[in-house]
Structure 1
């Protein structure tokens, strides 16, 4: 096992570093202290290292434009309808940064912060822990929130992502890691089979927010219980797929079941386990091969965002974090 650190620039007066974790099998994980970001997951093949996720052309590109690739997104990932949190008798207005709604924690969310870090290694693991204190009032959220994000690489070619947080005031908190998996690069995700053991999903309205609550996947294109090739879904004319230009939907995981999803091709498999109650599947619908991510186009990868699912109305109790209450999210990505 090996851990190395390399400086590569600055962002708003803070030093930027790339951290590299390597296991005894030759698997390499590259991380950035910008956004506590998972930059690359490199699996050894006969012809060299194969990147299992979508990455920008260079590490310097991540701070140039907000693309969420591999970042730690929050305080609240996804959208809050109407940008308002009605907290008892108090109404808290969050920034409107997508029409009339609030999305991804505001314009200066957790994925745009520079984290402190420490590294560690044992005989069987290599890890990096990133820490950041998000101050009260930042992006409109109450409470000072202390975060720690830890990536741990094992010799089994499993990468663990653990996010721990605590706030000194009642606040909203529903973060996630926003990695786009592309285990069949350079091909698109059409031939990648996705399996999700979920009986229910949430349809979305014109604001990309749920408007019907949980609905059965049975009899719909969203039934991934036995596995479906993603191309057989994203190229259908189903109304929900057409409206979103792909998949952008929450799936309800069964209580007590940590297995969340599996991606599989002829050459590779990635299995996701999580402590989160749902996973939002997003098939890179908005990318178009332009701008900073000019190397990424629509359907080049799929994000599996482990989180509390977005809600239909204004009841945000599921993502309310009480003062002193510990928050923990653990994802595990096993690569074969």
Structure 2
């Protein structure tokens, strides 16, 4: 009897030990299974070269879990690379640019850069504010273009990593001193790039001034969503019933013209090359498309532009709070600049969709105001969302 009791006790102990071991294993498996998969893009930072004065330039890489990623450098706040998948899931770079710093320091057409203080043209480099006349650099024939000789595309920004519940990115800051490039007021600028897992690149612009001034910030990325050397087969839709005709120097005439019945009608998707060589005075003046469209809506939930590339199947949608969008068809690219893969950027090998206020607004009372007052904060935002057909 005593032996049977001892055997029963031993059996119960072994059974309890087995149950505890099984419970511990299940808890461990449960803990492993409950660990959430990474959904927010990861941020890394690396050197990207040195300025002539010894300033180190940094590159921030923001990578989504599926490998899609964007590279941004502190020189000019430039988007140097943007890798997104095609219809077969293959990643490809959809922006023009360079793999090293020096080509950006050389003469280049604003690839991927932050543009300011004033994006686009100001007639003859002159404007008045509160009765005071201001003179800016005339760096585009007789006109002022994209902030002058040393606009925001050519300055070194301070960068830091940022993360939200849904995205990750980089916050860039720069203080433009009073009188820089002829503009009044000390302007504190913050531009935040955020990259989302759904392949959306969002750009948030903020600025404050200590003196009444003008501000019109944008980004000058050149896109090519496919592998063809030109963008003429890309299909474009612009949510705009009007555009701004320009004079011989590409300054708006002040008229808001209906696009209907003209080569500027992109209210429905059509190839960029469909009418780009049409016998049209405005086409001739721009050498193709280099005009500002008046958007039908400044709602951030309304598509401002959509682009489809048939071969890759890539689709890009643009959303913005700005009233206008400058569509530029790469008319001044001529093959003299070599890209990241060693291939020359030929005529019309990239297009720009620069969300902004209208060109020459300081001299055009009928255009939306670009004046920023002390105590106010300039805020605008734009996002580029990438998908496939």
TM range (shorter): over 0.9
User: Structure 1 residue 291: deviation in Å?
Assistant: 4.4
Q: In 2, Cα distance between the equivalents of 1:159 and 1:274?
A: 12
Matches within 5 A, 1:1-336: 1-11=41-51, 12-44=53-85, 48-121=90-163, 124-258=166-300, 259-266=303-310, 267-291=313-337, 295-311=344-360, 314-315=363-364, 318-336=369-387
Whether the 8 Å contact between 2:175 and 2:189 is mirrored in structure 1 is yes
CA distance in 1, matches of 2:307, 2:60: 26
The more displaced of 16-25 and 251-260 is 251-260
> 2:56 & 2:128 partners in 1: Cα distance?
38
| Equivalent-residue separation in structure 2 for 1:14 and 1:138 (angstroms) | 20
CA distance in 2, matches of 1:186, 1:269: 15
Aligned residue pairs total 336
- Report the aligned-residue RMSD: 1.9
Deviations 1:147-206 (A, max 9, x none): 111111111111111111111111111111011111113331111000011110011111
Q: 1:9 to 1:172 in 2, by over 3 A?
A: same
Gaps of 5+ in 2: 1-40
Higher gyration radius (CA): 2
Whose strand fraction is larger, Structure 1's or Structure 2's? 1
- Deviation string, structure 1 residues 60-95 (Cα, Å, up to 9, x no partner): 421222421110011011111121112232111112
TM-score (norm 2): 0.82
- Taking the aligned partners of 2:255 and 2:190, their CA distance within structure 1 comes to 32
Shift of 1:101: 1.8
Q: Say which is worse superposed, 112-121 or 234-243, in terms of deviation.
A: 234-243
Report if aligned partners of 2:46, 2:58 keep a CA contact under 8 Å in 1.
Answer: yes
Give the conservation status (yes or no) of the 8 Å contact 1:143–1:167: yes
Which has the larger displacement, 37-46 or 69-78? 37-46
Distance 2:94 2:171 in 1: 22
Please say if residues 290 and 328 of structure 2, whose CA atoms lie closer than 8 Å, have aligned partners that are also in contact: yes
Q: Which moved more, 1:153-162 or 1:62-71?
A: 62-71
